[in-house]
Amino acid sequence: MRDERPPAEQEDKLKAWKWAQEHTRAIIHLTCENDQAHLMSHAATGQEAWEIFSDTYASSDVSNVMELENVLVPQRKLRECP
């Protein structure tokens, strides 16, 4: 299926996606302890940082996972509202 949107609209969506990924990665990095943040320092996106974090700490450090979810879920809902 071919995307018929004008290139400018695609660029705007790409910029918004990049900003959201950078913002998410920064929140995850700032919320973690230094040793945890170090593991995610090479993540290219917020999604990648979250996957590293959850794979490594989800079962052993539930408080950090819950804290990140409390921060990220409301922000995602705000972005999804028209």
Q: Where are the domains of the chain?
A: 34-82
Would the pLDDT of 13 be above 80?
yes
Provide the 10 A C-beta neighbour count for residue 37: 15
Q: What is the pLDDT of residues 33-77, one digit of tens each?
A: 787 778 888 888 888 888 887 777 666 566 767 777 777 777 666
Higher pLDDT, 79 or 74: 74
Are 50 and 39 within 8 A, CB to CB? no
Provide DSSP, the chain. ----S-HHHHHHHHHHHHHHHHHHHHHHHHHS-HHHHHHTTT-SSHHHHHHHHHHHHTTT-HHHHHHHHHHHHHHHHHHH--
CB within 8 A of 8, min separation 6: which ones?
none
